[in-house]
Amino acid sequence: MKSDVYFIEVSEANLEKRCLALSKLLEKISHFLPYEKDELVPIKFTIGDSTCVYNLSPELVKIMVTKIKAKKAKPFVFDTNVIYSGERQNAVDHLTLAQNKGFAQVKIGAPYIVADGLIGQDGKEFEISSEVIKKIKVPSFIGTLDSLLVLSHATGHIISGYAGSIKNVAMGMVCRPTKLTQHSSIKPHTIKDKCTLCRSCIAACPAGAIEVKSNRVIINPDLCVGCGECLCACRFDAIFINWHENSDIFAERLVDVAQFILSKFKNKFFINFLFDITKECDCISNKNDEMVAGDIGILASGDILSLDKATMDLIDKHHGTLREARPQGVFNKMFSYAQEKKLGNLEYNLIKV
């Protein structure tokens, strides 16, 4: 049986029209948001890092918060700390960035919480039934609350090729040690003939795994966490990753982690925003980032896999270049594996609002 995916078109970069479209969509899907009086409702999304200007706007998040508060529930927005260099490695810098980007409680109507604590270590550990990842550590509230709402900005991604709701849950709802584990199979190497010894990769590496030896850059595989920061930092194509060998494992880990996390919630719903679709994800994109599709609209579903599949299909239909921009992407593998693991359904009914 096909899953329902709701879609409202917004084809121009106008914040007022985006807000109106979201409000109209919420009227259609209100019955999927069954929150009770005084219920704590977590809203997962990311503000991106300091260089990102294309993350979801505070105005869109405020609309979601207002909708939930109208049901007398108590929403809070949250994210977790990251493993790469930037302003979200610890809760102090993370919360300061959130304030500076307009996500203060006075602006959006709900508190912004860094759910894995000061340095990304606070949480509880679970053993999961997966062949590719045995243990995960997640924020402590997971398993104690009934509902989850996930807001995702659809973008490209350096490893998976596409980042949407599955990646937002699997990578964004775990503590830093699990982020490291999920990336650990991606091991880059340097191409000596292309390397200019500019040292950009050294500055970008969060693990201190890169150094210059004998007049060449060396990446220590024992220290490397597989985050891909060096690949993004290098301007000379001097970093090589054997995508075929390693990235399938990354895709499988995303699915298995997302499946376990979502199993802890009774009510979950997902909304993808297809605006400002950049080649890089919000963690590393900047104002000069390449756009791989025009503005398309907003998608919503209770089926995370159908939603992400519909998102990629719409990007392709609107002549997006995401597949060409990320030919090494493993989202097709991620989608097929997700259906195999019964995370969701690849077949869907697209319901236009």
Q: Which residue has the higher pLDDT, 329 or 289?
A: 289
What phi and psi, each to the nearest 5 degrees, are found at residue 50? Answer: -65, -30
pLDDT exceeds cutoff 90 at 111: yes
Contact assessment for residue 74 and residue 305, using Cβ atoms and an 8 Å cutoff: no
CA–CA separation, 71 and 37 (whole Å):
6
Residue 102 CA to chain centroid, in angstroms? 20
pLDDT exceeds cutoff 70 at 300: yes
CA–CA separation, 167 and 223 (whole Å):
24
Q: Is 86 left (phi over 0), alpha (psi -120 to 50) or beta?
A: left
The token pair that represents 195 in the structure block = 């390397």
Residues in the chain: 353
- In which band, very low, low, confident or very high, does the pLDDT at 96 lie, cut at 50, 70 and 90? very high
Amino acid at 219: I
Amino acid at 183: H
Q: Which residue has the higher pLDDT, 250 or 147?
A: 147
CA–CA separation, 315 and 294 (whole Å):
8
Neighbours of 16 (CB within 10 A): 8
In the chain the domains, ranked by start, together with CATH numbers, are 3-182+244-352 (3.40.50.11440), 188-241 (3.30.70.20)
- In which band, very low, low, confident or very high, does the pLDDT at 245 lie, cut at 50, 70 and 90? low
- The angle at the Cα of 308, spanning 303 to 310, to the nearest 5 degrees, equals 95
Terminal alpha carbon distance of the chain: 21
Residue 138 CA to chain centroid, in angstroms? 15
Place of tokens 């997971």: 142
Please state the rounded mean pLDDT for residues 73-77.
Answer: 98
Could you report the per-residue pLDDT of 28-48, keeping only the tens digit for each? 999 999 999 999 999 999 999
The token pair that represents 245 in the structure block = 């060998």
CA–CA separation, 315 and 148 (whole Å):
26
Amino acid at 341: K
- In which band, very low, low, confident or very high, does the pLDDT at 231 lie, cut at 50, 70 and 90? confident
- In which band, very low, low, confident or very high, does the pLDDT at 180 lie, cut at 50, 70 and 90? confident
SS3 114: strand
- In which band, very low, low, confident or very high, does the pLDDT at 242 lie, cut at 50, 70 and 90? low
The token pair that represents 244 in the structure block = 């075929």
